[in-house]
Amino acid sequence: TRTNAALMARRRAALPAGLGQTHEVFAERAEGAEVWDVEGRRYIDFAGGIAVLNTGHRHPKIVEAVKAQLDKLHHTCFQVLAYEPYVELAERLIAKTPGDFAKKAFFLSTGAEAVENAVKIARAATGRQGVIAFGGGFHGRTLLGMALTGKVAPYKAGFGPFPAEVYHAEYPNALHGVTVEDALRSLQRLFKYDIEPQRVAAIILEPVQGEGGFYVAPFEFARALRRLCDEHGIVFIADEVQTGAGRTGTWLACEQWGVAPDMVTMAKSMAGGFPISAVIGRAELMDKVPPGGLGGTYAGHPLACAAALAVLDVFEEERLLERSRAIGERLRAGLTAMMARHAEIRDVRGLGAMVAVELFEGGDLSRPAAELTRRLCAEALQRGLVLLSCGLHGNVIRILVPLTASDALLDEGLAIMEAALAAAKS
């Protein structure tokens, strides 16, 4: 029989343990912000396939666009025979990316590949080797992605050696006592102890750390990095794989900085669930790699390009950026009220609809409540809500609900979350 338990048993027998799974559920179908499992149980989806479903499950416009593309062609390899949707997508993403300079864009399939390619270009363009990332950051599971990632377990442990010339500075974190000045000082320490700025190709920053715990980089920090990069000729890369495509209330989070990065990486929600990622950046840098140095067999797949173009249309037609801000406000209000009733919640934070709470034993900031967070996710699932945790200590609940979700669904989800928290505590 097709029960979750029976399928989990088959999964365990056939798949390696390293492939984690938050919830022991097999999904059967999904619509908007709801999913049904193989046993017919319904769930509200606050995870969005990890930040992929800003336009929701099976948005009719996206499904229609993909079907139409499927009826024309579905693979040529762009470097062999080109197709227009790829170019149109590049043009439209360039137009939406901040920076008063000429830009170019190209596509890969995953976030990790976008990050790898941004670094490749920064190195080729500057003739330098060093890359600086931040503690707690996440940039992917490829070798360079792991090297850039600032969290050892479970992402890096046992997988070395990693590519050389990658360094980590401190990410500002007000809740845990790392000020913007502390973070900037940690960069100066790298320049003193490890690598001269003249040898640094790129600094890569998540505008809001995703896997790391939904910590928002203060805009003044981004502006200080911009100045530092200008001073030393370093390429400033914003990794917007998780923040991009409207999650933070603007199309890209870096639009809110007041300064532009030289390069942006995107993936996840940019195509509403189809595998494509992007590097968008300063034309003079992007053109420094000779023909053949960039690309990939499936990179910029026609179906994913069609989906991504439909995502752009849906954002405009349904005013999803406004909705992202409104959802953010509604979630914050609900979670702030919840915090007043539960001492374990010590922080409600985020940018736009990228919202999280952080949990501590008895509200004590020195005791991250990872086990409580795990139980809360499990109790929520029992009650029909898919929640995701994150954070360096696994004690953060992050919300990545589709921006197409109704207020009623958001409220239903928040109520389940509170009931689950109460159950998890008892």
Identify the burial level of 363 via C-beta atoms within 10 angstroms of its C-beta, where 0-12 means exposed, 13-18 middle and 19 or more buried: middle
CB of 214 to ligand PMP, least distance (A): 11
Spot the catalytic one: 26, 46, 134, 138: 138
The residue among 260, 224, 233 whose CA lies nearest residue 102 is 260
Which two tokens mark 173? 């974190």
Tell me if residue 425 is catalytic: no
Nearest 5°: phi and psi at 279?
Answer: -120, 125
Report how far apart the first and last C-alpha atoms of the chain are (Å, whole number): 34
Per the listing, tokens 């928002």 go with 216
> Between residues 136 and 328, which has the closer beta carbon with respect to ligand PMP?
136
The H or E element containing residue 224 is helix 219-232
Indicate the residue among 110 and 126 with the shorter CB distance to ligand PMP. Answer: 110
* Alpha-carbon span 90 to 113, nearest angstrom: 17
Chain centroid to CA 221: how far?
A: 19
The backbone torsions φ and ψ at residue 31, rounded to the nearest 5 degrees and listed phi first, read -155, 125
Angle at 285 between CA 284 and CA 288, to 5 degrees: 95
**Residue tagged active-site, from 239, 274, 347, 360:** 239
Residue 138 is among the residues annotated as catalytic for this protein: yes
Closer Cβ to ligand PMP, 50 or 378, answer by number: 50
Give kind and range of the element (H or E) at residue 238: strand 235-239
Residue 206 or 418: the one with the smaller Cβ distance to ligand PMP is 206
CB of 76 vs ligand PMP, minimal distance in Å: 23
Determine the length of the chain: 426
**Nearer CB in complex with ligand PMP: 45/211:** 211
Q: Minimum CB separation from ligand PMP for residue 113, in Å?
A: 7
- Min dist CB 311 to ligand PMP, Å, is 16
- Residue of 107, 268, 274, 315 with catalytic role: 268
- Look at residues 253, 413, 251 and name the one whose alpha carbon lies nearest to residue 335: 413
Asked whether 62 and 30 are in contact (CB, 8 A), the reply is: no
Give me the least distance between CB of 138 and ligand PMP, in Å please: 5
Q: Least separation, in Å, of the C-beta of 241 and ligand PMP?
A: 4
CB of 208 to ligand PMP, least distance (A): 9
Strand, coil or helix: what is 284?
helix
Q: Which SS3 state, helix, strand or coil, does residue 336 take?
A: helix
Q: How far is the CB of 408 from ligand PMP (least distance, A)?
A: 29
> Nearest-CA neighbor of 107 among 383, 295, 310?
295
Which residue is it, tokens 């790392």? 178
Closest chain position to ligand PMP (CB):
111
Identify the three-state secondary structure at position 160.
coil
Note if 239 is an active site residue: yes
Going from the C-alpha of 365 to that of each of 74, 334, 343, 378, 393, the distances in angstroms are 52, 22, 11, 23, 12
Spatial separation of the C-alpha atoms in residues 290 and 355, rounded to whole Å: 41
Binding footprint of ligand PMP on the chain (CB under 6 A): 50, 110-112, 115, 138-140, 206, 210-211, 239, 241-242, 267
Q: 138 vs 360, which CB is nearer to ligand PMP?
A: 138
Tokens linked to 145: 């992605």
Distance CA 426, CA 424 (A): 6
Smaller CB separation from ligand PMP, 354 or 421: 354
Q: For the CB of residue 239, give the shortest distance to ligand PMP in the complex, in Å.
A: 5
> Between residues 306 and 400, which has the closer beta carbon with respect to ligand PMP?
400
Tally of CA atoms within 13 A in the half-sphere of 388 that contains its CB: 23
Sign of the Cα pseudo-torsion (374, 379, 380, 382, in order): positive
Nearer to ligand PMP, 49 or 334 (CB): 49
Active site residues: 138, 239, 268
